[in-house]
Amino acid sequence: MNMKIAVIGAGISGLAAGRELVKAGHEVVVFEKSGGYGGRLATRYAGKGNEQKLDHGVPYFTATSDEFKELVAELTSKGILSTWSGTFVHRNESGEISEVTPDSEYYFAKEGMNSIGKYIGRNLDIRLNEKVGGLTHIGENRRKKKSWMLNFPTALTESADAVVISAPARQAYALLNTTIDEIETLKMVREIDEVEYESQFTLLTGYSGVQMPDWNALECDDDIIEWISNESTKRESGKNTLVIHTTSEFAKMNMNSDRQKVEDLIADRLITILGGWAGLPEWQQLHFWRYSRVKNPLPHDFMEIRGNDTPLALVGGYINGNTVESAYLSGLKLGKHWAEQFAD
C-alpha cells in the first residue's frame, strides 16, 4: 500500500525516516520550518562576506551501532565525513590543562555539519521555511477517507495518510496537543511532557593576526563555559574561529537577559581561560539553543499510534539516547518498521 507520508522536521531523525520510506516506494514530503537541512547538525556562515563555516550545533559525534557505522562509512566514502583527529584537552577548576584521549573516533563534516542533512535528504521532497502549526485528524464521520491534515500559519493545508513528527519533544508536544480531542494521542503527549532539555548559549568568534591554540577542543570545569571548539582545526574556511558553548545552568539563568550582557559575561570568562587575545575578536555572533541535549531520553526506538488507518509516529534525539546516533536510529527504525508494516 503506497502512502503519502508527511515528515515534520528535516533533522537527521526525520531525514532518516524519510529516506527509508521513499526507498520503500512511499510518497514522502518533509516540512521544515527553518531555511536549512540537518536541524541541530547546524552550520553558520559568518565573518566577512559570510565566508567562514562554523558548526554552531553539534561539534562532532561518535558511532557505536552497526547501523550508524554504516551511515558513517557511506558519508566517509562520499568525502562528506572526516575523523576529527588531533589534541583534545581538559581544564580543571584550578586552571590546569591535561590532554584527554577520546575513547572513540570523533566525526565531523568538512563542508559543515549541515552537509550531512543535505546528503541524506538529497532524494526527498523537502519544503523549507514551512512551519507546521497543527494537525487535524480527518475521521470516518466525514465524507473523505481517513487522513491527516497539516495546518500552516499561512492558512494553507496539506493532507497525508501518515505523519512522522521529528521535532524536539517540546515542539512535538505542541503539535500533538492540537490533535488531542480527536484521536488517542493523550498517552504520548503525557509521556513526552516529561522530557527535559538542556539549553546552551553558543558564541561564535573570529580573529585575525593571532596565534590560534594548538588543540582541537577544550572541555572546561567552569560555571559559564563548558566547551570550546577550535574550528580552525576542522577546515580552511573556519580559519581563526572558535565556537564556545556555555553550561546549561548559565543558559537557563540568562535566557531572558540582555544579549549584550550575555556576550560580555562569556567574553570575560574566555579571557580568563585563554588569555587577553580571546577577548578581542574581529567579529562575534551569539546563538541560543533552547533545546540542546535531552536530560532524560525515553526508553523506546520510536513512538507510534498503532493501526493502519492514520498512523502517526514520533522520532528524534530524545528517544533512546540524546545523541546524533540515537536520533538517526530512531528515524531509521521507524522507517524500516513502516516500510514492512505498509508493504503491499
User: How near is the Cβ of 144 to ligand FAD at its closest, in Å?
Assistant: 23
Cell output for 130 = 514551512
Identify which of residues 47 and 117 has a Cβ nearer to ligand FAD in the complex. Answer: 117
Identify which of residues 26 and 40 has a Cβ nearer to ligand FAD in the complex. Answer: 40
Tally: H helices and E strands in the chain: 8, 20
Say how many Å lie between the first and final Cα of the chain, rounded.
5
User: How near is the Cβ of 344 to ligand FAD at its closest, in Å?
Assistant: 29
User: How near is the Cβ of 48 to ligand FAD at its closest, in Å?
Assistant: 24
Compute the distance between CA of residue 7 and CA of residue 160 in angstroms, rounded to an integer.
10
Residue type, 93: E
Identify which of residues 166 and 179 has a Cβ nearer to ligand FAD in the complex. Answer: 166
Identify which of residues 278 and 327 has a Cβ nearer to ligand FAD in the complex. Answer: 327
User: How near is the Cβ of 287 to ligand FAD at its closest, in Å?
Assistant: 9
Cell output for 218 = 577544550
Identify which of residues 94 and 104 has a Cβ nearer to ligand FAD in the complex. Answer: 104
Cα dist from 292 to 48, 57, 162, 196, 295, whole Å: 28, 8, 28, 10, 10
Identify which of residues 130 and 161 has a Cβ nearer to ligand FAD in the complex. Answer: 130
Compute the distance between CA of residue 38 and CA of residue 61 in angstroms, rounded to an integer.
14
Determine phi and psi for 157, rounding to 5 degrees. Answer: -135, 160
**Which residues bind to ligand FAD, rule: CB under 6 A?**
8-14, 31-34, 39-41, 57-59, 61, 131-132, 166-168, 171, 175, 200, 202, 245, 289, 292-293, 316-317, 322-324, 327
User: How near is the Cβ of 291 to ligand FAD at its closest, in Å?
Assistant: 7
User: How near is the Cβ of 108 to ligand FAD at its closest, in Å?
Assistant: 10
Contact indicator for 279, 158 with CB cutoff of 8 Å = no
